[in-house]
Amino acid sequence: MDLGFLLVQSLSGLASASSLFVIASGLTLVFGVTRIVNFAHGSFYMLGAYVAVTLVPWLFEFDRSPLLFFTGVIASALVVGGLGVLMELLLLRRLYKVPELFQLLATFGVVLMVQDAVLWIWGPVEISGPRAPGLRHGVEILGQRFPAYELLLIGVGPAVLGLLWLLMHRTRFGILIRAATRDREMVGALGVNQALLFTGTLFLGAFLAGLGGALQIPRVAVSSQMDLSIITEAFVVTVIGGMGSVPGAFLAAVLIGQLNAFGVLIFPKITLVLVFLLMAAVLVVKPWGLLGRPETAAGRAALPEGILATPRFGAWEKAIAGLAIAAMLAVPVLGDGYAVKVATEILIFALAAFSLNFLVGNGGIVSFGHAAYFGLGAYAAGLLVTKAGLPMEPALLAAPVAGAAFAALFGFFVVRLTGIYLAMLTLAFAQIAYAVCFQWVEVTGGDNGVVGVWPSDWARSRAVFHYLVAACCILGIWALRHVVYAPFGATLRAARDSEARANAIGIDARTHRWLAFTLAGGAAGLAGGLYAFSKGSIDPTLLAIPLSVDFLAMILLGGIQTVMGAVAGAAAFHAIKDFFMPLTDHWRFFLGASIIALVLVFPRGLGGAYGALRGRA
């Protein structure tokens, strides 16, 4: 490898770092001020690219000049900034008082809606953008050719950093942004017009995302999958840099850019993993990122978000639970094959959602990556059957073991963090697991996965398999529910309510959380193993972000403050999804809209609504 090659590699790393920084700086600013983790930031990025591939060719009809190219890019970013304002006015404004998890879920609802809107407006085919006039040539650097446009991009990052610095230090708006990032309550108490500040910040954030997207059009083809791939990278950058810190985001983007550029030479197989490993390593050493600050603790004692009371089943609850179990057992007798399939899936998702709420509701451990353990259970079972030739029974035993083992491994690092950093680390580990299953083609079959994961002969009929699933899932939920009521469950709630008090009475909160994470991972793994056999196949979507979000939606729909809400939520969510999907091609749009409506109308979920009903009666 000669020097020129290394230099060019490093420069191309800087070029991607630059783009990544522009996007991530918007995300980190919005988080700093509003404390909302905006999943839709990736959608703004995608919209920026789509608007630019439409606008720039139209401008080129007048004149193919570099000036018009960049006018088009800036105009696209402005349009996206306007959309950010729209989102703030219509949605976020109603969400600031809602628990963090709901905010996140609502922004994910926006992601789904934008995905469908983009497909509807621009179609499913990738669109290649025009190249930038005047920058189409290559530049000779130490005997290597390097695209001039990339060279320009390298300059964009520092330029944006400089402009943001000026904005943050020389304007009133910028100083307010910094103040709100440090202490939002104080800024409110000082009489600052928060609404205007938030709207302005969303404009700036969306503008930066749109700018990042628009600048990509000469480099990559624009597609409707751009949003989720960029949002995870942008999350990683903001988390490594420290949420809310713009210089931190710059530092992290440069690090990641270089890691990618050289990582691809040394470990071409695991490029996706490298980035998340870096993030995990940084968070273990610096739990608030490179340049972040610890979250300022609220001065007052607040009721925790999660399970508040653990009443025993009364007569009504026993009757409802009995009826639900009876209904599930009667489906193979009364319903058709399709009904049995749906019922089987509901049982599986109910166990997975229940295990997630064991963490979120009972332990205050908000995991964004619970699908990882579900998927790893599925892969363990699926691979043992198809590659090792084992029958279903041992494979089904291996599924929870695999889920628990990986949860124990990842959880060891996860429980060292709290709040949003914890959530982001669970997301990172889930992405690592996803990346391995996606890239390790020889073993996992890559994107296509593996087919032929069939149950043993005795369980091959839909009805028998349904009873097997029912037995596993109902027992699993019953056992986990028992743990919630046991000293271990109470200890988790205690550590969630007040870490200081838990410490002072001699509780080792971290170890208990780690055990809980492992237990929940095991239960999710069992659910995943059952799912693999019910589908007959495994593929990477079983560990992907959308499934993790589905699980979160289930527990929020059910209500995280109740013990059994997750089960009702899983049933309702799966039924809604199953109802919309065949009806229309635009099911994502309706699903997203339903999630947003749920957050706005039912902030305490079905379980909360039931509790209110019982409380009144």
Partner 1 sequence: MTLLAAERLNKAFGGVVAAKDVSFALAEGEMLAIIGPNGAGKSTTFNMVGGQLAPDSGRVLLAGADITGQPPRAVCRLGVGRTFQVAQTFLSMTVLGNVQMALIAHHGRTREVVARAEALYRNQALALLDRVGMAAEAERPIGELAYGDVKRVELAIALAASPRLLLMDEPTAGMAPRERAGLMQLVANIARGQGIGVLFTEHDMDAVFAHADRILVLVRGEVIAEGPPEQVRANAEVQRVYLGQSGHRAALRARRAAHG
Q: Which stretch binds partner 1 (CB under 8 A): 144-152, 329-337, 486-494, 565-573?
A: 486-494
Q: Least CB distance from residue 94 to partner 1, whole Å? A: 26
Q: Which is nearer to partner 1, 231 or 502 (CB)?
A: 502
Q: Least CB distance from residue 488 to partner 1, whole Å? A: 5
The C-alpha R_g of the chain, in whole angstroms, comes to 25
Identified binder of partner 1 from the candidate list 65, 461, 503, 584, rule CB under 8 A: 503
Going by C-alpha positions, the residue among 142, 97, 113, 145 that lies closest to residue 43 is: 113
DSSP summary character for residue 93: G
Identified binder of partner 1 from the candidate list 32, 218, 263, 306, rule CB under 8 A: 306
CB 246 within 8 A of CB 205: no
Applying CB under 8 A, does 505 fall inside the site for partner 1? yes
Applying CB under 8 A, does 487 fall inside the site for partner 1? yes
Identified binder of partner 1 from the candidate list 277, 320, 397, 515, rule CB under 8 A: 515
Contact pattern from residue 581 through residue 600 relative to partner 1, giving x for each residue in contact according to CB under 8 A and a dash for the rest: --------------------
Q: Which is nearer to partner 1, 217 or 502 (CB)?
A: 502
Q: Least CB distance from residue 362 to partner 1, whole Å? A: 10
Identified binder of partner 1 from the candidate list 179, 507, 593, 609, rule CB under 8 A: 507
Identified binder of partner 1 from the candidate list 310, 418, 439, 456, rule CB under 8 A: 310
Could you report how far apart the first and last alpha carbons of the chain are, in Å?
77
CB 139 within 8 A of CB 151: yes
DSSP summary character for residue 269: G
Applying CB under 8 A, does 491 fall inside the site for partner 1? yes
Give CA–CA dist 296/371, Å, rounded: 30
Number of residues forming the site for partner 1 (CB under 8 A): 34
Identified binder of partner 1 from the candidate list 341, 466, 493, 588, rule CB under 8 A: 493
Residue type, 583: L
Applying CB under 8 A, does 415 fall inside the site for partner 1? no
Q: Which is nearer to partner 1, 156 or 308 (CB)?
A: 308
Applying CB under 8 A, does 309 fall inside the site for partner 1? yes
Applying CB under 8 A, does 98 fall inside the site for partner 1? no
Applying CB under 8 A, does 301 fall inside the site for partner 1? yes
- Please compute, for residue 589, the number of CA atoms within 13 A of its CA located in the half-sphere on the CB side: 10
Q: Which is nearer to partner 1, 218 or 559 (CB)?
A: 559
Q: Which is nearer to partner 1, 295 or 305 (CB)?
A: 305
Applying CB under 8 A, does 488 fall inside the site for partner 1? yes
Q: Which is nearer to partner 1, 338 or 485 (CB)?
A: 485
For residue 314, CA distances in Å to 223, 252, 495, 558, 614 come to 53, 53, 28, 19, 11
Strand 450-451 and strand 537-538: the pairing is antiparallel
Identified binder of partner 1 from the candidate list 1, 333, 500, 601, rule CB under 8 A: 500
Q: Least CB distance from residue 179 to partner 1, whole Å? A: 24
Q: Which of residues 127-156 bind partner 1 (CB under 8 A)?
A: none
Applying CB under 8 A, does 535 fall inside the site for partner 1? no
Q: Which stretch binds partner 1 (CB under 8 A): 120-128, 193-201, 279-287, 504-512?
A: 504-512
Identified binder of partner 1 from the candidate list 498, 593, 603, 609, rule CB under 8 A: 498
Identified binder of partner 1 from the candidate list 497, 541, 580, 603, rule CB under 8 A: 497
The DSSP annotation for 470-537 comes to HHHHHHHHHHHHHHHHSHHHHHHHHHHH-HHHHHHTT--HHHHHHHHHHHHHHHHHHHHHHHHHHHTE
Give CA–CA dist 148/131, Å, rounded: 11
Q: Which two tokens stand for residue 107?
A: 């922004």
Give CA–CA dist 54/227, Å, rounded: 18
| Contacts with 473 (C-beta within 8 Å, 6 or more apart), sequence order | 347, 348, 350, 351, 527, 530
Identified binder of partner 1 from the candidate list 486, 575, 581, 583, rule CB under 8 A: 486
DSSP summary character for residue 298: P
Applying CB under 8 A, does 512 fall inside the site for partner 1? yes
Applying CB under 8 A, does 83 fall inside the site for partner 1? no
Burial class (CB in 10 A: 0-12, 13-18, 19+), 3: exposed
Give CA–CA dist 104/59, Å, rounded: 37
Q: Least CB distance from residue 475 to partner 1, whole Å? A: 14
Q: Which stretch binds partner 1 (CB under 8 A): 66-74, 250-258, 506-514, 579-587?
A: 506-514
Q: Which is nearer to partner 1, 512 or 535 (CB)?
A: 512
The DSSP annotation for 348-408 comes to HHHHHHHHHHIIIIIH----S-THHHHHHHHHHHHHHHHTS---HHHHHHHHHHHHHHHHH
CB 563 within 8 A of CB 481: yes
Identified binder of partner 1 from the candidate list 483, 520, 523, 564, rule CB under 8 A: 483
Applying CB under 8 A, does 494 fall inside the site for partner 1? yes
Evaluated on CA atoms 436, 438, 441, 445, the torsion sign reads positive
Q: Which stretch binds partner 1 (CB under 8 A): 188-196, 314-322, 479-487, 589-597?
A: 479-487
Applying CB under 8 A, does 617 fall inside the site for partner 1? no
Q: Contact positions toward partner 1, by CB under 8 A?
A: 301-304, 306-310, 482-483, 485-491, 493-494, 496-498, 500-508, 512, 515
